[in-house]
Amino acid sequence: MKVQEVHHQTRRVLVVVCDKGEEAVATIGRALTAQGVRSGQVTAVGGFSGGEVGYFDRDRGDYLRIPIGGQVEVLSLLGDVAERDGEPVLHVHTVLGRPDGSTLGGHLLHGEVWPTLEVVITEVAPELAKRVDPETGLALIAAAPPR
Amino acid sequence: MKVQEVHHQTRRVLVVVCDKGEEAVATIGRALTAQGVRSGQVTAVGGFSGGEVGYFDRDRGDYLRIPIGGQVEVLSLLGDVAERDGEPVLHVHTVLGRPDGSTLGGHLLHGEVWPTLEVVITEVAPELAKRVDPETGLALIAAAPPR
Amino acid sequence: MKVQEVHHQTRRVLVVVCDKGEEAVATIGRALTAQGVRSGQVTAVGGFSGGEVGYFDRDRGDYLRIPIGGQVEVLSLLGDVAERDGEPVLHVHTVLGRPDGSTLGGHLLHGEVWPTLEVVITEVAPELAKRVDPETGLALIAAAPPR
């Protein structure tokens, strides 16, 4: 366990509204870069007309790709932003709802927005950093020890 | 994409605890009105004894209604509040868990609380506004451009 | 409904990164105790290699235990912390994703972290208190009335 305690005064909030037809991951990334937010907490609701989610396969060391397969409600989109090599890296997972109320979900690889995606990004700290985990090749948050 | 950057000083937090038998959407709405919160981010966990979730059907331009069908865990309730015509409009999606761990979800139309629903509402900005989208008839957040 | 309005100045944020093999509930609890956070809002994403979720059975007055059954994506982990008898009590629900994108979820009883669990804990107020509900035996948040 690594814990980093952050005091409140440095936080900002971005409200990002993705338009119809925009791809969610790229759009949120553009907003982060434009506003200079490099670490934070992300939540969103809305809808996707398509896209792909991923499941990290330990044996292959890569994501299995799962097609979203039609219009879905974005029931939950949750995750964080941290910095790797000076750039913001978005890590978000999503749960999606089909017409019968059944769900599917995974790591969001890409999602085509329809009719909207309402994203709230709360800046946590400028200094959260990702490092590459040698076992998995994934970039994971490396929080500083408590002070 | 529309981005609105909000600075922190204006935010408040409401902790709303819904009692057994209360309807969640109406109860959260009453708390928003009573405290004068017109925009924010909403998260909750708890349980429902019944209710309905919705899936927005593009062809019909309306929500399909899906019954919750018995006691469920509220695994996730996530969304936002924005203002339309001077009133707070709640937009929340939910994922619900059945006794065998299977899930269902959708746009929360109404949910009967049992035994509790613990809601945290973080005020984002007084000025987030919804506008009606002509294509869908839905009220969507119309964030201001970055300043 | 009980509503407690909290003003912003007292909030802190903890970023807790659970390492491979750590148990999530105990690890988050240790971080709360170490940093003296007794009430707040919790969100997380990451992965579990196993564990159990629960569904509260009204008739039995206890949780049904549902095994997680293999490596899953933690699509959503959401909940709160409140104080009972001077100690922080964690109440989190989770939605988990399998290799085919199907989901399961419940009240998180225990989860074995792999490869990471990135947790953000936002302190809400020092004074949120749980009380034991006589009907269910559960410790529920008892928010103060609005002032």
Confidence of residue C127 (pLDDT cuts 50, 70, 90): low
How sure is the predictor about A4, in pLDDT bands with cuts at 50, 70 and 90?
A: confident
Please determine, for residue C49, whether its predicted confidence score (pLDDT) is greater than 70.
Answer: yes
A14 close to B (CB below 8 A): yes
Q: Give bridge partners of residue B43 from the DSSP assignment.
A: B78, B120
Q: Residue C6 pLDDT more than 80?
A: no
Which two structure tokens, joined as six digits, stand for B135? Answer: 């294509």
Position B7, amino acid: H
The two tokens of residue A142 are 């490396």
Per-residue pLDDT for A127 more than 70? no
Q: Do A41 and C120 touch (CB under 8 A)?
A: yes
CA dihedral over C123, C127, C128, C130, signed as positive or negative:
positive
> B131 vs A98, which has greater pLDDT?
A98
Q: Flag whether pLDDT at A144 surpasses 90.
A: no
Could you tell me where the DSSP H helices lie in chain A? Answer: 24-35
Predicted pLDDT at A145: 42
Task: For tokens 């491979």, name the residue.
Answer: C20
Q: What is the pLDDT of residues B73-124, one digit of tens each?
A: 999 999 999 888 888 889 999 999 999 999 999 999 999 999 999 999 988 8
Contacting residues of B for A122, CB less than 8 Å apart: 41
d(CA C57, CA A50): 36
pLDDT (average), residues C101-110:
98
Check B58 against A35: CB less than 8 A apart. no
Sign of CA dihedral A32, A37, A38, A40: negative
Tell me the average pLDDT across C36-60: 95
CB A11 within 8 A of CB A122: yes
For residue C4, pLDDT over 60 is answered with yes
- pLDDT tens digits for range C14-28: 889 999 999 999 999
* Neighbors of chain A by Cβ distance (3+ pairs < 8 Å): B, C
In the predicted structure, residue A45 carries a pLDDT above the cut 60: yes
C92: helix, strand or coil: strand
At A61, is the secondary structure helix, strand, or coil? coil
Sequence-ordered list of residues with C-beta below 8 angstroms from that of A136, at least 6 positions apart, any chain:
A56, A58, A61, C115
pLDDT band with cut points at 50, 70 and 90 for residue C136: confident
The secondary element (H helix, E strand) that includes residue C34 is helix C24-35
Instruction: Compute the nearest-CA separation of A134 from chain B (Å).
Output: 33
pLDDT category at C145 given cuts 50, 70, 90 is very low
CA distance C118 to chain B (A): 17
In chain C the beta strands, taken as DSSP E runs, fall at 2-7, 12-18, 40-57, 62-67, 72-84, 87-97, 103-123, 130-132, 139-141
Chain C nearest-CA residue for A6: C13
Give Rg (Cα) of chain B.
16
What average pLDDT score do residues C108-121 get?
96
3-state secondary structure chain B: CEEEEEEHHHCEEEEEEECCCCEHHHHHHHHHHHHCCCCEEEEEEEEEEEEEEEEEECCCCEEEEEECCCCEEEEEEEEEEEEECCEEEEEEEEEEECCCCCEEEEEEEEEEEEEEEEEEEEECCCCCEEEECCCCCCEEECCCCCC
CB B56 within 8 A of CB A73: yes
Interchain pair B78, A73: CB under 8 A: no
pLDDT at B11: 64
Q: What digits encode the pLDDT tens for the residues C50-105? A: 999 999 999 999 999 999 999 999 999 999 998 888 888 899 999 999 999 999 99
| DSSP secondary structure string for all residues of A72-86 | EEEEEEEEEEEEETT
SS3 breakdown of chain A: % helix, strand, coil, rounded to 5? 10, 60, 30
**Which residues have a Cβ under 8 Å from the Cβ of B86 and sit 6 or more positions away?**
none
pLDDT of residue A7: 62
Please state, in angstroms and rounded to a whole number, the distance separating the CA atoms of residues C26 and A8: 26
pLDDT-derived band at C12, boundaries 50, 70, 90: confident
Q: Tell me whether residues A17 and B91 touch, CB distance under 8 A.
A: no
pLDDT at A110 over 60: yes
- Taking CA–CA distances from A91, the nearest residue in chain C reads C45
What tokens appear for C136 in the block?
């269910």
Strand-pairing partners, residue B137, are none
Interface contact A135, partner C, CB < 8 A: yes
